[in-house]
Chain A
Amino acid sequence: MGRYIARRLLLIIPVLLGASFLIFAMVYALPGDPIRALAGDRPISPAVVEVLTERFNLNDPLWVQYWEYLKGLLSGDLGTDFRGRPVLDTIERTLPVTIRLTLVAILFEAVIGLVAGVLAGIRRNGFLDNLVLVSTTVIVSIPILVLAFIAQLLFGLKLGWFPIAGTRDGWYGYVLPGLVLASGSLAYVARLTRTSVAENLRADYVRTARAKGLPRSRVIVQHTLRNSLIPVVTFIGADIGSLLGGAIVTETVFNLPGIGREVFDSIRSQEGAVVVGIVTLMVFFFIFFNLVVDVLYAVLDPRIRYD
């Protein structure tokens, strides 16, 4: 197992190199002039343009620019944006917001999704089961942007329960965006749990558990849920990685200064270094949590061994 993890961790390096190069190339290929974009409508002197172009190697070919970027990376320098602020500082400022948002979303996804799925799976075709089926269908069929506006309108403006934008209210401000961000995965977790529980309830070993004279609660918790939750837990694990990178819409709509909104703004203003840094980080999260999931799988299911 240890060797397997080490091998997988080593594999992350070439993947990240490849990913960052691809992103770099895409940013490089973006039409338009980032320095003009920086200046906006104000006039800008040719001398300044020249200095900036020189500083950011903008006239060099792609591979030279990328090489310069890599050299910086090795010394822990992610470069600076056109205003001279280090990208690392930008990440340090925005990442905590995204992490908090992701935590809240995962919490909703795990708690609500699991409880709904377990209850639906235990009493299939019951009232709760149908409620879960209908509500999850509705949730997944509404685009997240629409869902966000509905949530803001209903819970934020009409009912006034939760703040609809910004981080001034601390954790409280993360409730609505967390719920919106989690919605799709939440519905999926509920469905996955329901199917898995219903399937496991019919398993031969559950019949054995009953033949052993175990109390019903133990038959369900120890012999049904434990097995049913393996695919669910691993899905949630992998979803942490996706949510950390998938918060662009949510952060923008709810005006949360996280890495998602930052990358969105940076693409518009053609801040290449910021985009490359943040997107590479997102790719890293994604790969890392997939590794966590694979390890988790082996921990939860003794039939799976990697050595």
Chain B
Amino acid sequence: MTLPQTTTAAGVPAPGTPLLEVDDLHVEFRQRSGVVHAVNGVSYELAAGQTLAILGESGSGKSVSAQAIMGILDTPPAVIRGGIRFEGRDLLTMSAEDQRKIRGPGISMIFQDALSSLNPVYSVGWQIGEMFRVHRGASRKEAKRKAVELMDRVRIPAAARRVDDYPHQFSGGMRQRVMIAMAIALDPRILIADEPTTALDVTVQAQVMDLLKDLQRETGMGLILITHDLGVVNEVADDVAVMYAGRIVERGTVDDVFTDAAHPYTDGLMKSVPQVEAKGGRLQPITGQPPNLAAIPGGCPFHPRCSHRRLGAAAAPGRECATDVPPLRLVAPGREAACHYSEEVLGV
């Protein structure tokens, strides 16, 4: 992704313009009981108009890496290393105040549980309008008018009447629309959606995903979609990054990865799909437990659970699964995986 930064006449960034570069991101939490290594060298890029899905089991570091990009982790206890460049500017080295001003108009985020993520004591209109009052210096009246516009835009029925209602007076799906309205208020270049539909009914999930896709088409924003739901990934994402133990273990276009996984962990995820639907979304795909992030296994972190692993004499030189860490490497055109034996996995 080394295309020059271009913008169309309408101010909508041309597709393919790199917006975000995450470079060897590390996040650890220093606790009295030890250091939790939540993110261990994550790198990816996001272009305008692109949808990148981040997939992985619970505890694999999806949310923490997203919150590091947003700059909303408390440091301490979190320690963040690496590079996060938004439109070429490193977020980690800029002042807290400059970083704050990017949240909202530059990068925006929505969370899984809209009920607890909205403030219960303010009306939804007040909370949406707050974006304009704080970032644009709008008056109360102006902010409220904008809030109604946005509620219309995310298709909340009778927006003008409901603008003064409180979060608890809305249904789950409508509340998530309120969150979305708030997040897109200032036309952000990037929207990070952390499991935006996990808490919703299946039919409502589809509506909310459709809304996100439509908004993306209108604005050309880059979308990072964190999810457990392979079906959603398949439908809406261009590219997918699979995380395990705070690392990206596989990356590629959705079509490629879903057709033929290059990492045994991804392979396991794909094979568990029918099971996923039966259990209502949470992945329980592969035997064994996710690793303890305070004591991640040496070598390939996945090796205790891997059916392809080669240990001791069975391994090729420098590719012993329990001692040699597999780097994320190109395994096929446009495909990256962190496995010593991806070529064999791809053949399966």
Give chain A's interface residues, CB within 8 Å of chain B: 203-205, 207-215, 218, 223, 226-227, 230, 300-303
A226 in contact with B130 given A213-B101, A303-B166, A303-B168 (CB within 8 Å): no
Contact between chains at B120 and A214 (CB < 8 Å)? no
A206 and chain B: residue at smallest CB distance:
B119
Q: How far is the CA of A230 from the CA of B121 in the complex (A)?
A: 10
One of B15-23, B78-86, B108-116, B319-327 contacting the partner: B108-116
B39 to chain A, nearest CB (A): 17
Report yes or no: B103 in contact with A205, Cβ–Cβ below 8 A. Answer: no
Which one of A207, A227, A301 contacts B72 once the chains associate, using CB atoms below 8 Å? A207
Q: What's the nearest-Cβ distance from chain A to residue B95, in Å? A: 13
Of B104, B119, B135, the contact of A205 (CB 8 Å cutoff)? B119
Tell yes or no: B70 within 8 A of A by CB.
Answer: yes
Q: Which residues of B contact A227 (CB under 8 A)?
A: 119-121
Tell whether, in the assembled complex, residue A212 and residue B116 are in contact, meaning their CB atoms are under 8 Å apart.
Answer: no
B41 at the interface (CB under 8 A from A): no
Name B residues whose Cβ lies closer than 8 Å to a Cβ of A.
67, 70, 72, 100-105, 108-109, 111, 113, 116-121, 123, 130-131, 134-135, 166, 168, 179, 182
Which of these, B100, B113, B120, B166, contacts A213 with CB under 8 Å?
A: B100
> Once the chains are docked, how many angstroms separate the CA of A209 from the CA of B101?
13
A87 to B109 CA separation, bound complex (whole angstroms): 66
When A204-B113, A218-B134, A302-B166 are in contact, do A211 and B118 touch as well, CB less than 8 Å? no
A97 to B168, CA, bound (A): 45
Q: Is the CB of A211 within 8 A of B119?
A: no
Q: Which residue of A lies closest to B100 (CB)?
A: A213
21 chain-A/chain-B pairs, Cβ below 8 angstroms: A203-B116, A205-B116, A207-B72, A207-B111, A207-B117, A208-B118, A208-B182, A211-B103, A211-B108, A211-B109, A212-B131, A212-B134, A213-B100, A213-B105, A214-B100, A215-B100, A218-B134, A223-B119, A227-B120, A302-B168, A303-B166
Q: Contact between A213 and B168 (Cβ–Cβ < 8 Å)? A: no
Which 7 residue pairs spanning A and B have beta carbons closest together? A213-B103, A213-B104, A204-B116, A205-B119, A302-B166, A210-B72, A204-B117
State whether A210 touches B103 (Cβ < 8 A).
yes
Residues from chain B with Cβ under 8 Å of A301 in the complex:
120-121
Chain B residues near A214 (CB, 8 Å)?
100, 130, 134
Residues in chain A near residue B130, CB distance under 8 A: 212, 214
Known: A212-B104, A213-B134, A213-B135. A205 touches B113 (CB 8 A): no
Given A204-B116, A303-B166, A303-B168, A212:B121 Cβ within 8 A: no
Which residues of chain A have C-beta atoms less than 8 A from B119's C-beta? 205, 208-209, 223, 227
A-chain residues with CB within 8 Å of residue B134 when the two chains form the complex: 212-215, 218
Q: A212-B103, A212-B182 are in contact. List 12 more A-B contacts (CB 8 A).
A: A205-B119, A207-B67, A207-B117, A208-B119, A211-B109, A212-B104, A213-B101, A214-B100, A301-B121, A302-B120, A303-B120, A303-B168
